[in-house]
Amino acid sequence: MTASVKTLVNQPYKYGFVTDIEVDTIPRGLSEDVIRMISAKKKEPEFMLEFRLKAYKQWQKMTEPDWPHVHYPAIDYQDISYYTAPKEQEKKKSLDEVDPTLLETFEKLGIPLSEQKRLSNVAVDAVFDSVSVATTFREQLAKDGVIFCSISEALIDYPELVQKYLGSVVPVGDNFFSALNSAVFSDGSFVYIPKGTKCPMELSTYFRINTEGAGQFERTLIIAEEGSSVSYLEGCTAPMFDTNQLHAAVVELVALDDADIKYSTVQNWYAGDENGKGGIYNFVTKRGLCAGKNSKISWTQVETGSAITWKYPSCVLVGDNSVGEFYSVALTNNMQQADTGTKMVHVGKNTRSTIISKGISAGRSQNSYRGLVKMGPKAKGARNYSQCDSMLIGSDAEANTFPYIQVQNHTAKVEHEASTSKIGEDQLFYFAQRGISMEDAVSMMISGFCKDVFNQLPMEFAVEADRLLSLKLEGSVG
């Protein structure tokens, strides 16, 4: 690589600011008392406290997974604050009563919450550190019977629904990070789509970590009743701190007969600086259960941020003829490390799954795809198609693919395709020789590479995702 092309300046992370706001934060450390305190602060029903304590007991017996292809110093779980909320956080009835500093923060992040400015067809739940500060369009959605609120509110207003489904897809002891989340989660979104209802607008949650030393443990639960459908999108950013912050979320989706859930993520947590200092540890468990026949769950993720990503949005295809999809673009630059992919567990007959994974590695980053396709003994006629493509930018980045395929019946069909390509100096020179700038060249090549995934994103966000990737790669090419 020549010096001339390396000298392009890295685009600064534009969401790296800190909001100066008084917070109510509990001392660092984790114990049964801390869990009781969180539960009490949230005025939760008794079953929730039991759920948390059970998870905590399990977590204490578990060890952090060491199989991902990522490396980081040991995390001191006693040095994290497990609850941080802006002061006076009685959830406001009207958005106009929300602290203007918070409204301003979200506006700066491109998420206008005030009535006049917000996107007309997207309802937003805004989560700041540990709590949800605002949810837009609630009344309008309620007219169709759609419940969209923070999970804390759902615990108070719809405890039976939460109790029935929480932990039904990701059991408390599923893995180290899901157990931790189950013990200490503070907020997140709750969505319930009633029978036969097509959710009239896009739902989205915007997660913002603001306070240094705070962990974010959000919990999202989406239930789509028989014959219903919903499209949900989450976005995430965090300030630039030199220390690492832990984000351990759990997302559970349940689709009943003929229901359809589309879940999209644009993840742009702070990734650390070019030497790998700071950034978010993003250890996330996401799983969807296609419980009903002909149901469908589709994950689309654009992962661009975080120092370390450990994330496998999965589908358990129980209902006959159910469909699971996973479309992913994972981009790593500088010293970022990502170990991400999916699990498609085929249980029911004629279940189908599609995996399209696009990994882009630049700088000295490591980018691994890890995916499991499991065809159970009763999954007669099940089919999977997987395509894993890697693109290397420069000569110091690493890309890996770890596919796991388990087939327990001989009528199932599994296809796996993989490719590796490279944006090299010669291709860039070809563009330059036609008068096309390096930024445009990279953006055209990346868009082309990611097209199959971006086409799955809701329209408003596809353009945003495209732009985001170009920004992230500026200065990495040469």
Partner 1 sequence: MIVENSEVILSVKDVTAEVDGNAILKGVNLEIKAGEIHAIMGPNGSGKSTLSKLLAGHPAYTLTGGEVVYKGKNLFDLEPEERAKEGVFLAFQYPLEIPGVSNLDFLRVAYNAKRQHLGEEELDAFDFDDLVRERLDVVKMDPAFLDRSVNEGFSGGEKKRNEILQMALLEPTLAILDETDSGLDIDALKIVSNGVNQLTNPNNAVLLITHYQRLLDYIVPDYVHVMQGGRILTTGGKELALELEEKGYDWLQPAGVA
> Which of 22, 117, 430, 455: binder of partner 1 (CB under 8 A)?
430
| Residue 418 or 436 with smaller CB distance to partner 1 | 436
Residue 76's identity, in one-letter code, is: D
Per DSSP (E only), the strands in 248-351 are 250-255, 260-267, 279-290, 296-303, 308-311, 314-317, 323-332, 337-346
Q: How far apart are CA 86 and CA 337, in angstroms?
A: 31
Closer Cβ to partner 1, 73 or 448, answer by number:
448
Nearer to partner 1, 53 or 438 (CB): 438
Interface segment toward partner 1; rule CB under 8 A; list 2-10, 204-212, 277-285, 338-346: 2-10
Report the site for partner 1 in 431-460 (rule: CB under 8 A).
Answer: 431-438, 440, 444-445, 447-449, 451
Work out whether 426 is an interface residue with partner 1 (CB under 8 A).
yes
β-pair partners for 215: none
Task: Give residue 49's Cα distance to chain centre.
Answer: 26
Of 14 and 451, which has the nearer Cβ to partner 1?
451
- Minimum distance of partner 1 from residue 340's CB (angstroms): 21
Cβ proximity to partner 1, 18 vs 436, nearer residue = 436
**Structure-token match 């159910």, residue found:** 322
* Residue number, 72 or 431, with CB nearest to partner 1: 431
Per the CB < 8 A criterion, the answer to whether 176 and 260 are in contact is no
Please name the amino acid found at residue 141. L
The backbone torsions φ and ψ at residue 394, rounded to the nearest 5 degrees and listed phi first, read 80, -175
| Strand intervals (E) in 121-176 | 122-128, 131-135, 147-150
| Shortest Cβ 478–partner 1 spacing (Å) | 8
Cα 361 to Cα 322: distance, rounded to the nearest angstrom: 33
Which stretches of 152-278 are assigned E, i.e. beta strand?
A: 189-193, 202-208, 219-224, 229-237, 244-247, 250-255, 260-267
Window of 89-97, 232-240, 303-311, 423-431 that interacts with partner 1 by CB under 8 A: 423-431
Find the binder of partner 1 among 421, 455, 460, 463 (CB under 8 A): 421
Cβ-based nearer residue to partner 1, 62 or 432: 432
Q: How far is the CB of 423 from partner 1 (least distance, A)?
A: 10
Strand partners, 296: 260, 323
> 214-253 mask for partner 1 (x: CB under 8 A)?
----------------------------------------
List of residues contacting partner 1 (CB under 8 A): 2, 4-5, 421, 425-427, 429-438, 440, 444-445, 447-449, 451
